[in-house]
């Protein structure tokens, strides 16, 4: 029976010396799987997109505990129907009568359900004031949620259950956490007022440690608009400087078994946060400095490299390299049409051997225009300092799609630069 499984877990953790606060979260984490199994094996609710700390713990091994289930959806959830069906699910499958209470907060576009299970006394708790073990479920109504790409992660680890969670890619999940980090209002944790939840800070640091880039389009849809990642980074840094962390211990202590791990995090979170934020490799691309053409005599492939300076680092360059087979230069029906030359950059071009030809300048102009369009779309901010296209071929014989791309003349002139990488 489900209650026997929870009692056994309580006994194991109690014998290990864990606090009742932490044990309570651990038991909630077990029950989360059964709620998620109900949701994601149901045709009525599997459209819900899960986000927040619990999906990171289940799907990506976030090293902290998490007590709530958070979802987003573009369509309203029928709370009464959900309540009836989840009650029936636990009754039919586990012979247990749960209690479900729900409320809606129109100003926050959120509905909250409290799914109440066993009494704490039944499970062995003695110190906590709560009467019953419950799991909180938040459903946020976000009208463009279905416009964002979804991902899936497996659920049910450590249980007899097997289900698949619908979620967002990590970039979108990070953006959703950034919304909470940047917009959360002052609130009380115990008797202490704080302007951010410590778990939001912890999760932001987890994302940054992985080098995850936030989805700026998601932030824009949530009315937090940034032109570039650099603008986002500046805003996050300012916010981190203003965080009052006097309530962090009270908020975060229940989510850790290891007290030393918690104390180490509390003592160093701010400098570590800033260090992680600054560790992102971000380049703001400046002026074109040099164009270099080269022929590889072992393959006859032609390469063109464009070197730009990096505005935020005087000693760093950003280099875009393009490689084409010799067919593009040898056969009349394959050569690109005239009209691509960019006169103002031609004095920066040089060739390894021989003189530049008019056709060389046509290709130089064509790819320079593609690179500038790519940079314009990205506000001149990139996350690596070297870009290299696949070998651009005019024939498909023995094509290696990982290293080569086959195009005809029309498509070569039309294709965006990032599609060549």
Mean pLDDT across 265-284: 94
Angle, helices 20-40/53-60, rounded to nearest 10 degrees:
80
Instruction: Identify whether residues 293 and 395 lie together within a single domain.
Output: yes
Instruction: Identify whether residues 134 and 27 lie together within a single domain.
Output: yes
Instruction: Identify whether residues 328 and 403 lie together within a single domain.
Output: yes
Instruction: Identify whether residues 140 and 190 lie together within a single domain.
Output: no
Give the pairing of strands 132-141 and 386-393.
unpaired
Instruction: Identify whether residues 271 and 380 lie together within a single domain.
Output: no
- The β-bridge partners of 382 are 283
User: How far is the C-alpha of 100 from the C-alpha of 413, rounded, in Å?
Assistant: 60
Instruction: Identify whether residues 196 and 160 lie together within a single domain.
Output: no
Q: What pLDDT, in 10s, does the model give residues 204-214?
A: 999 999 999 99
The last residue of one of the domains, among 108, 140, 168, is: 168
Q: What pLDDT, in 10s, does the model give residues 328-387?
A: 999 989 999 999 999 999 999 999 888 899 999 999 999 999 999 999 999 999 999 999
Instruction: Identify whether residues 274 and 291 lie together within a single domain.
Output: no
pTM: 0.81
- Among 210, 138, 205, 140, which residue's Cα sits nearest to residue 169? 210
Instruction: Identify whether residues 162 and 175 lie together within a single domain.
Output: no
Q: What pLDDT, in 10s, does the model give residues 62-78?
A: 999 999 999 999 999 99
Instruction: Identify whether residues 15 and 142 lie together within a single domain.
Output: yes
When pLDDT is cut at 50, 70 and 90, the band that residue 186 belongs to is low
Mean pLDDT across 32-38: 98
Instruction: Identify whether residues 323 and 396 lie together within a single domain.
Output: yes
Mean pLDDT across 138-163: 94
Instruction: Identify whether residues 160 and 16 lie together within a single domain.
Output: yes
The last residue of one of the domains, among 245, 280, 315, is: 280
Any idea what the Cα angle at residue 368 is, between residues 364 and 372, rounded to 5°? 175
Per-residue H/E/C for 3-23: HHHHHHHHHHHHHCCCCHHHH
Give the model's pLDDT for residue 192: 55
| Structural domain boundaries, residue 19 | 1-168
User: How far is the C-alpha of 304 from the C-alpha of 315, rounded, in Å?
Assistant: 22
Q: Which two tokens stand for residue 390?
A: 């696949």
The last residue of one of the domains, among 168, 198, 224, is: 168
Q: What pLDDT, in 10s, does the model give residues 110-134?
A: 999 999 997 888 888 988 878 889 9
The three-class DSSP label of residue 370 is helix
Tally of structural domains, the chain: 3
Instruction: Identify whether residues 308 and 395 lie together within a single domain.
Output: yes
Whether 194 has a pLDDT exceeding 80, the answer reads no
Question: At 136, which CATH number?
Answer: 3.10.450.620
């Amino acid at each position: 029976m489900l209650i026997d499984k929870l009692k056994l877990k309580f006994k194991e953790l109690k014998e290990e010396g864990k606090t009742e606060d932490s044990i309570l979260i651990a038991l909630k984490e077990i029950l989360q799987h059964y709620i998620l199994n109900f949701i994601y094996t149901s045709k009525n609710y599997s459209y819900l997109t899960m986000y927040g700390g619990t999906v990171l713990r289940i799907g990506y091994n976030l090293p902290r505990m998490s007590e709530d289930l958070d979802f987003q959806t573009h369509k309203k959830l029928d709370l009464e129907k959900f309540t009836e069906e989840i009650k029936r699910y636990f009754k039919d499958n586990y012979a247990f009568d749960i209690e479900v209470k729900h409320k809606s907060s129109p100003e926050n576009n959120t509905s909250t359900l409290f799914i109440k299970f066993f009494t704490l006394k039944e499970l062995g708790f003695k110190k906590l004031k709560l009467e019953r073990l419950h799991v909180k479920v938040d459903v946020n109504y976000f009208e463009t949620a279905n416009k964002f790409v979804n991902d899936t992660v497996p659920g049910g680890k450590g249980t007899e259950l097997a289900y698949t969670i619908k979620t967002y890619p990590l970039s979108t999940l990070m953006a959703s956490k950034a919304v909470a980090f940047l917009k959360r209002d002052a609130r009380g944790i115990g008797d202490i007022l704080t302007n951010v939840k410590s778990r939001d800070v912890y999760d932001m640091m987890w994302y940054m440690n992985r080098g995850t880039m936030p989805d700026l389009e998601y932030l824009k849809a949530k009315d937090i608009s940034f032109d570039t990642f650099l603008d986002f980074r500046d805003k996050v840094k300012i916010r981190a400087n203003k965080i009052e962390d006097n309530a962090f211990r009270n908020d975060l202590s229940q989510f850790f078994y290891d007290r030393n791990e918690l104390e180490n995090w509390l003592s160093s979170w701010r400098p570590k946060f800033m260090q992680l934020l600054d560790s992102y490799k971000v380049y703001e691309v400046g002026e074109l400095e040099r164009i270099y053409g080269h022929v590889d005599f072992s393959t006859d492939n032609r390469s063109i490299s464009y070197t730009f300076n990096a505005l935020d680092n005087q000693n760093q360059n950003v280099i875009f390299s393009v490689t084409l087979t010799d067919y593009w230069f040898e056969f009349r029906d394959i050569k690109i049409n005239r009209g691509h030359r960019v006169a103002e950059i031609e004095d920066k071009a040089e060739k390894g051997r021989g003189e530049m030809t008019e056709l060389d300048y046509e290709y130089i102009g064509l790819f320079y225009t593609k690179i500038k369009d790519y940079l314009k779309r990205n506000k001149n901010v990139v996350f690596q300092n070297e870009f290299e296209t696949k070998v651009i071929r005019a024939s498909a014989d023995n094509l290696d799609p990982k290293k080569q791309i086959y195009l005809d003349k029309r498509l070569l002139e039309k294709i965006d630069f990032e599609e060549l990488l």
